[in-house]
């Protein structure tokens, strides 16, 4: 039995034998005996209290002793309360009932989640938060000018209504990854001072049928309640692909989501103050109905930043960094062609991390040089030790690239040559352009193939053999020569004809028919012309390195001694070997060409015009 709320015991504690002695001495007046616990409490004749513990049951001789000495005996049997009496009985039923209540609440919560699965998952950024403006977007003045009309419409809609102008319902931002498309969309909302609903294209897709369409409806209903708002859909190509091109027919969940989005865009008027902005780096896979006038009827290209834009982006990311006075951001910007805004931010952060690792207090020029090498070529492998034979072979391989790049007139200037293993490469020859360029002539392309073959030809001239280190050089050269013949019309036998690369298999357009739109005879001519270009470039490379053999030996021996050379030192050694100054480079390219001595690392391809 459970006893609760017991009162504290009072009186002097006596042993049972002492209690009997006090009874015999006629000192005890009355006694209370607990039949359950055998505890005895009582009073002396002088009024003081005592307590003791007796035997159970109370012995007959002791009971007779109490009667003989006129001690008043009060037996007591305590009764259990309601809780003490029923708690043992109700414990297990209450436990079972609690389990069922828990399961019912859990089921109702899951049912609530199922009922809310069709709600939009868009994140809402209100005007109360600090907004992003065009001042936070470095460069891209042309993009800002083109998209500023949307800001003016959201700020002053009556100005457009008076003249009868209709603002585009949708603006599609197209550009490579990392160019800041999401940042520009948020800047539009910040400039206009309206709520910004941001959602990714993948947020519309679920395993349940109809969920994507339901979320599209909820997204537009939320925007309408806000009055004027911007709906931003990132990676819209995940739900906006061409209909009827998939493997499973034309009625899958993705297409139903796209149909609902098209209907919603037709359902609101331009005067409602709702503007859709979407971003993608794959505009070629979007459904034509999504791009027609009245939906996404304006496309804004967000390209890779030019030199001045890269300089502005670097300065934005360097504001919060401790930069040494020896760092010239103009030089850093010139040495990073083809990098997006995200890659430039990563470059500055890598430089800061390297400064911390070496224990420096400021970010120096060497830190930026290290960061650029790591971003372009990978981490330096300090633990990798090359044998003397491998080191000599690598030195002549890189010297072959460097000499060809220095001698040829239209080749990009050599920035640095190293035989230190970096990333997947045993050595690297890095070229950097003097200015950005967006188109390439045939001379430049052919000489870039000559530079790529310089390492292989140098190995054959010096050692009489070729190694696997030229694998990636051959891949780059072959791909470039094939594009010259098949896509850029730089072959007299093929003439002014072009065949693009094969379509995307995931669209289902190339599975049921042959994607090649030329005959076998034409394919044979393409292969022959590709081989002709490669053979001619190889022969030219042999002639160049044979003519500058002394410069090749000097550069290789200097690499074996110093491991890393800059472009100016390479040019000095080549001039010293030939006995006459080498003509400077006069042509540049958009992206640097890197010769990497490993088949698993691919350099950035030339941008197609």
Residues with catalytic annotation?
A: 398
| β-sheet bridge partners, residue 323 | 363
> Which conformational region is residue 527 in: left (phi greater than 0), alpha (psi within -120 to 50 degrees), or beta?
alpha
Alpha helices in 49-175 (DSSP H): 60-68, 82-115, 141-155, 157-163
CA 143-152-166 angle, to 5 degrees, is: 95
Residue 244 to residue 380: CA distance in whole angstroms: 48
H/E stretch holding 39 reads strand 39-44
CB 175 within 8 A of CB 303: yes
Exposed / middle / buried, residue 90 (Cβ in 10 Å: 0-12, 13-18, 19+): exposed
Residue 608 to residue 605: CA distance in whole angstroms: 9
> How do beta strands 39-44 and 28-34 pair?
antiparallel
CB 462 within 8 A of CB 555: no
DSSP string, 287-309: -HHHHSTTSS-EEEE-----HHH
DSSP string, 398-436: HHHHHHHHHHSSSSPPEEEEE-S-BTTBS-EEEE--SS-
> Which conformational region is residue 563 in: left (phi greater than 0), alpha (psi within -120 to 50 degrees), or beta?
left
Closest CA to 189 of 265, 267, 130: 130
Closest CA to 360 of 400, 326, 409, 394: 326
Closest CA to 278 of 371, 201, 372: 201
Residue 443 to residue 448: CA distance in whole angstroms: 9
Which residue, chain included where needed, has tokens 């998209």? 147
Exposed / middle / buried, residue 184 (Cβ in 10 Å: 0-12, 13-18, 19+): buried
Structure tokens at 90: 């109700």
Closest CA to 5 of 80, 92, 115: 80
SS3 540: helix
Residue 27 to residue 33: CA distance in whole angstroms: 17
CB 425 within 8 A of CB 601: yes
**How distant, in Å, are the alpha carbons of 135, 137, 312, 321 from that of 141?**
11, 9, 11, 25
Q: How long, in residues, is the chain?
A: 609
CB 73 within 8 A of CB 64: no
């Amino acid at each position: 039995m459970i006893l609760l709320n017991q009162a504290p015991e009072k009186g002097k504690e006596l042993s049972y034998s002492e209690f009997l002695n006090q009874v015999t001495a006629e000192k005890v007046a009355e006694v209370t005996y607990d039949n359950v616990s055998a505890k005895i409490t009582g009073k002396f004749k002088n009024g003081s209290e005592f307590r003791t513990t007796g035997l159970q049951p109370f012995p007959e001789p002791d009971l007779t002793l109490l009667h003989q000495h006129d001690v008043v005996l009060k037996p007591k049997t305590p009764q259990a309360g309601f809780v003490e009496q029923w708690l043992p009985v109700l414990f297990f039923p209450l436990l079972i009932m609690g389990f069922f209540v828990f399961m019912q609440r859990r089921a109702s919560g899951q049912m609530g989640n199922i009922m809310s699965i069709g709600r939009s998952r868009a994140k809402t950024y209100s005007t109360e938060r600090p907004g992003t403006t065009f001042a936070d977007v470095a460069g891209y003045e042309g993009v800002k000018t083109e998209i500023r009309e949307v800001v003016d419409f959201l700020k002053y809609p009556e100005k457009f209504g008076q003249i009868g102008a209709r603002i585009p319902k949708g603006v599609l931002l197209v550009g490579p990854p990392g160019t800041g498309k999401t940042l520009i969309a948020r800047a539009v909302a910040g400039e206009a001072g309206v709520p910004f609903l941001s959602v990714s294209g993948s947020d519309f897709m679920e395993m349940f049928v109809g969920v994507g369409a339901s979320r599209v409806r909820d997204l537009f209903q939320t925007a309408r309640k806000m009055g004027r708002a911007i709906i931003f859909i990132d990676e819209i190509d995940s739900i906006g692909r061409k209909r009827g091109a998939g493997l499973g027919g034309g009625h899958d969940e993705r297409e139903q989501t796209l149909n609902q989005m098209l209907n919603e865009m037709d359902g609101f008027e331009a005067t409602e103050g709702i503007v859709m902005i979407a971003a993608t780096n794959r505009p070629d896979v979007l459904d034509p109905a999504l791009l027609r006038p009245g939906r996404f009827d304006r496309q804004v290209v967000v390209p890779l930043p030019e030199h001045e834009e890269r300089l502005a982006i670097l300065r934005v990311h360097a504001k919060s960094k401790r930069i040494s006075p020896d760092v010239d951001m103009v030089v850093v910007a010139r040495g990073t062609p083809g990098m997006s805004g995200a890659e430039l931010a990563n470059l500055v952060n890598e430089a800061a991390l390297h400064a911390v690792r070496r224990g420096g207090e400021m970010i120096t020029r060497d830190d930026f040089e290290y960061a650029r090498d790591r971003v372009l070529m990978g981490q330096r492998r300090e633990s990798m030790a090359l044998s003397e034979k491998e080191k000599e072979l690598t030195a002549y391989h890189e010297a072959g690239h460097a000499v060809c790049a220095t001698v040829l007139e239209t080749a990009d200037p050599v920035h640095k040559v190293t035989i230190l293993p970096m990333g997947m490469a045993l050595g690297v020859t890095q070229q950097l352009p003097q200015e950005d360029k967006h188109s390439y002539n045939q001379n430049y392309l052919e000489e870039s193939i000559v530079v790529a073959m310089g390492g292989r030809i140098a190995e054959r001239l010096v050692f009489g053999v070729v190694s696997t280190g030229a694998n990636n050089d051959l891949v780059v050269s072959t791909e470039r020569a094939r594009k010259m013949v098949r896509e850029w019309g730089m072959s007299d036998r093929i003439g002014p004809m072009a065949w693009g690369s094969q379509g995307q298999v995931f669209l289902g357009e190339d599975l049921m028919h042959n994607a090649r739109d030329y005959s076998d005879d034409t394919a044979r001519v393409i292969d022959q012309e590709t081989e002709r270009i490669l053979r001619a470039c190889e022969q030219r490379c042999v002639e160049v390195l044979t003519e500058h053999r002394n410069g090749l030996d000097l550069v290789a021996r200097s690499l074996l001694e110093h491991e890393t050379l800059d472009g100016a030192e390479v040019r000095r050694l080549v001039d010293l070997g030939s006995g006459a100054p080498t003509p400077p480079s006069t042509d540049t390219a958009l992206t640097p060409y890197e010769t990497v001595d490993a088949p698993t690392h691919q350099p950035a391809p030339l941008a197609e015009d």
